[in-house]
């Protein structure tokens, strides 16, 4: 979860703009909570996120990677 949140924060803004359905802000926020407020992290919330949200997220990531590779060479901001 931390790696995903970190990666979400380093993607070009153009990627964020092209995929507004992805909860970029929430992913970065969860990473920050895990990294900086680990005492208050709920194992249940983390587990529920992995079980309920992660499979759909993987599908979206695969689609993004395919789309971005197909558009490689195009300008990004």
pLDDT tops 90 at residue 1 = no
Q: Is 75 among the domain residues? A: no
Q: Is 14 among the domain residues? A: yes
**62-67: long-range contacts, CB 8 A cutoff, minimum separation 24:** 64/15, 64/19, 64/22, 67/18
Report the distance separating Cα 47 and Cα 12, nearest Å.
29
Q: Is 30 among the domain residues? A: yes
Q: Is 76 among the domain residues? A: no
- Name the residue with higher pLDDT: 74 or 21: 21
Q: Is 77 among the domain residues? A: no
Is 62 part of the annotated catalytic residue set? no
> Residue 22 — very low, low, confident or very high, per pLDDT cuts 50/70/90?
very high
Q: Total domain count for the chain? A: 1
* % of the chain exceeding 90 in pLDDT: 47
Would you say 22 and 42 are in contact if contact means Cβ atoms under 8 Å apart? Answer: no
Q: Which residues contact 68 (CB under 8 A, 6 or more apart)?
A: 15
Active-site hit among 16, 25, 36, 62: 36
Q: Is 26 among the domain residues? A: yes
Q: Whole-model pTM?
A: 0.71
Is 36 part of the annotated catalytic residue set? yes
- Burial class of residue 30 in the structure, from the number of CB atoms within 10 Å of its CB (0-12 exposed, 13-18 middle, 19+ buried): buried
Q: Which domain holds residue 26?
A: 2-70
């Amino acid at each position: 979860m931390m790696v995903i949140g970190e990666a979400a924060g380093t993607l070009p803004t153009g990627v964020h703009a092209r995929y507004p359905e992805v909860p970029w802000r929430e992913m970065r926020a969860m990473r920050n909570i895990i990294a900086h407020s680990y005492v208050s992290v709920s194992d249940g919330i983390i587990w529920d996120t992995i079980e309920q949200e992660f499979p759909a997220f993987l599908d979206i990531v695969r689609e993004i990677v395919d789309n971005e590779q197909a558009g490689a060479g195009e300008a990004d901001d």
